[in-house]
Structure 1
Amino acid sequence: MTEPLTAAITGYWDAAAGEFDAEPDHGLRAEHTRAAWDRRLRSWAPADPADILDVGCGTGSLSALLAAAGHRVTGVDLTPRMIEQAETKLAAAGLTGRFLVGDAVSPPVGEERFGMLLSRHLVWTLPDPQAALRHWITLLRPSGRLVLVEGRWRESGQTGHPYVAGADALPWSGGVTAEALAAAVRPLVTDLRIEPLSDDTDLWGHPVDDERYALIADV
């Protein structure tokens, strides 16, 4: 990805931070939506408290649910305003989490390793998603888990605004099907399953007619 495109993408999401939580599945302001995501996360995450890396954490809504479930959460996002909101959100809820500004492709976590890596609605924005997947696997401990919540979107911006010029050249611009993502991940893991999510209206706050799913893989 060229530097101008990287800067444009960073600027796009930084500008979107102020209204990001207005989307039902971003802010989780409705109790039934928050409860639906909480149920899913608890089913995907380790039963015991674990170190979890939330890459592309946005405003920290999923990080907050994981922290409330007892996990030690580190969130990484490219945009400072998203990170500021995530820190504020967890502090207001009396929860503990660590948030870092950085590229989700190569999170600034040094030699740390995690029991689970979570990414939601991120891989379609990446210039080399397969390289990112390979690196993410190295951030997991033995028997760690990769959870990717993804889809093939009707609108690639996901915020109601046109996305940045040039982003249509990204490999998975507009999202990625479960079949294609599974094909990319399967050689990297020991076990993989797809959990369809399109029909769970509570997750999105409204009916959706595009492909949405979770890929859960163990290493």
Structure 2
Amino acid sequence: MDTRLRAIAEYWNDAAPAFDQEPDHGLAAEATRQAWERRLRAWVPDGPLDVLDAGCGTGSLSQLLAEAGHRVTGVDLAAGMVDRARAKLAGAGLPGRFLVGDASRPPVDAERFDALLCRHLLWTLPDPDAALRHWTTLLRPGGRLVLIEGRWREAVTEPYTPGAGELPWAGGASADQLARAVRPLVRELRVEPLSADAALWGGPVTDERYAVVATV
């Protein structure tokens, strides 16, 4: 692992113990959990399907996908996040495979998936366009790309790694910006605004949040 990735991994390892305290991370409130469950059922076709959760964090969305009967592989750069994801699904009696690795180039070799889910990761990547191109190659024909992103109201005032403020999408990307990047790579695409669905976030939000759902 190069120096920059190591610094990023260390940041998220440090964040892992408190990560689930955020309402949309831990999904402790039933209303928030149900809101994400409804969205995932709409975005990921009925299966069971092979689903890759890129930047899985502590595995809360992976757990919802596994509960829906999908075969889930989660990838995260931070071993601390992966440990918690493994424990979360094991504690729920659910199958799931979790790998430590760069989510922009998941360590899955020639394996292919029916859907790839990514939530709030693209802003952390040095080359989000390259990640998007690679992710589409991991999908089978007709596969679904689900990108849950936003343009955050809060500025990145304390970079988690030197130079983070200079990342291409520091602070997030607008729906139009992400749709422009994805559209040449896919067959069809739609954008779903999510800011008004307060249950997803554990309360009202004032910044731009959305999902880009695309078929390759």
Aligning the two structures, in what range does the TM-score lie when normalised by the shorter sequence? over 0.9
Conserved? CA contact 2:159–2:165, under 8 Å = no
Structure 1 residue 48: Cα displacement: 2.0
Which residue of 2 is the match for residue 169 of structure 1? 166
Stretch moving more, 140-149 or 7-16 = 7-16
Structure 1 residue 10: Cα displacement: 1.2
Conserved? CA contact 2:54–2:117, under 8 Å = yes
Residues 1:205 and 2:202 are matched in the alignment: yes
Which residue of 2 is the match for residue 191 of structure 1? 188
Structure 1 residue 155: Cα displacement: 2.8
Give the root-mean-square deviation of aligned CA atoms. 1.5
Structure 1 residue 8: Cα displacement: 1.9
Aligned-partner Cα distance in 2 for 1:41–1:117: 12
Structure 1 residue 163: Cα displacement: 3.2
Aligned-partner Cα distance in 2 for 1:139–1:112: 7
Aligned-partner Cα distance in 1 for 2:86–2:131: 25
Which residue of 2 is the match for residue 43 of structure 1? 42
Aligned-partner Cα distance in 2 for 1:179–1:170: 18
Structure 1 residue 30: Cα displacement: 0.5
Within a 5 Å distance, the mapping from 1:69-80 to structure 2 comes to 69-80=68-79
Conserved? CA contact 1:156–1:163, under 8 Å = no
Which residue of 2 is the match for residue 141 of structure 1? 140
The runs of at least 4 aligned residues of structure 1 exceeding 6 Å deviation read none
Aligned-partner Cα distance in 2 for 1:216–1:4: 33
Identity %: 66
Relative to the length of structure 1, the TM-score reads 0.95
Conserved? CA contact 2:119–2:147, under 8 Å = yes
Which residue of 1 is the match for residue 16 of structure 2? 17
State the AA in 2 paired with 1:105. Answer: S
Aligned-partner Cα distance in 1 for 2:63–2:162: 33
Conserved? CA contact 1:147–1:216, under 8 Å = yes
